[in-house]
């Protein structure tokens, strides 16, 4: 089956880092699998023995609030009553045995590809940083400015924030 780059990209963008693990939210997985979130959670709870803590965990209230704040969505009217579950790569793989549809199998394949792609990207970045350190040790301080500039280029961009409040003239 051919790789669907758009789907892999969509999945890669929904992977989060929580508690030091790369995870996907239950609601994002439900959309990908074409099921309701409550149906996905219900299927998982029927097979809870297949999902140890390193495969799946529920967000704490603080983590959930932080996630809602970061995504800019408000769930004060309607929405969920309970904190979402998140699934690690192993938990996503286990989902294919719980959700037995053809779509679940195909989506799982694409999710595994997205996790592999993310690992490759992180590995490449780590390798570049290591090579830069080795070069920096090798050459004297006259190249320090060059190395500092390269490090700045490698750093992720800092999002620009608008000041809060009213400003005169707006």
Distance CA 81, CA 88 (A): 22
Decide if 161 is inside a domain.
no
Decide if 39 is inside a domain.
yes
How many C-beta atoms surround the C-beta of residue 18 within 10 A? 16
| Residue 159 pLDDT | 63
| Residue 44 pLDDT | 92
Which pTM was predicted? 0.60
Decide if 127 is inside a domain.
no
Decide if 166 is inside a domain.
no
Crossing angle (nearest 10°) for helices 89-98 and 26-33: 40
Decide if 147 is inside a domain.
no
Write the CATH number for 110: 3.10.260
Decide if 154 is inside a domain.
no
The total number of structural domains that make up the chain: 1
Decide if 149 is inside a domain.
no
The three-class DSSP label of residue 152 is: helix
| Residue 77 pLDDT | 46
Residue 75 is part of which domain span? 5-121
Question: C-alpha angle with apex 6: 118 to 124, nearest 5 degrees?
Answer: 20
Distance CA 56, CA 88 (A): 6
Q: pLDDT tens for the chain, 170 residues: list them.
A: 444 667 667 777 788 888 888 899 999 888 888 888 998 999 999 999 999 999 999 999 888 888 877 765 544 445 677 889 999 988 888 887 788 777 777 777 777 777 777 777 767 777 777 777 776 666 665 566 666 777 777 776 666 666 667 667 65
- C-alpha separations of 28 from 39, 53, 139, 153 in Å: 13, 19, 48, 32
| Residue 139 pLDDT | 66
- C-alpha separations of 94 from 29, 77, 98, 165, 170 in Å: 13, 33, 7, 48, 54
């Amino acid at each position: 089956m051919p790789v669907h780059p758009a789907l892999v990209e969509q999945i890669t963008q929904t992977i989060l880092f929580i508690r030091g693990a790369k995870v996907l939210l239950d609601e994002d997985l439900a959309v990908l699998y074409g099921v309701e979130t409550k149906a996905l959670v219900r299927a998982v709870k029927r097979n809870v023995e297949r999902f140890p803590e390193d495969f799946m965990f529920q967000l704490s209230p603080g983590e959930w609030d932080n996630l809602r704040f970061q995504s800019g969505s408000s769930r004060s009217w309607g929405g969920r009553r309970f904190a979402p579950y998140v699934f690690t790569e192993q938990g996503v793989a286990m989902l294919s045995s719980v959700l037995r549809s053809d779509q679940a199998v195909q989506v799982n394949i694409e999710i595994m590809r997205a996790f592999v792609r993310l690992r490759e990207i992180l590995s490449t970045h780590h390798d570049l940083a290591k090579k830069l350190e080795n070069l920096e040790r090798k050459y004297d301080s006259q190249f320090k400015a060059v190395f500092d500039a390269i490090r700045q280029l490698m750093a992720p961009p800092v999002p620009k924030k608008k000041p809060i409040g009213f400003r005169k003239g707006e």
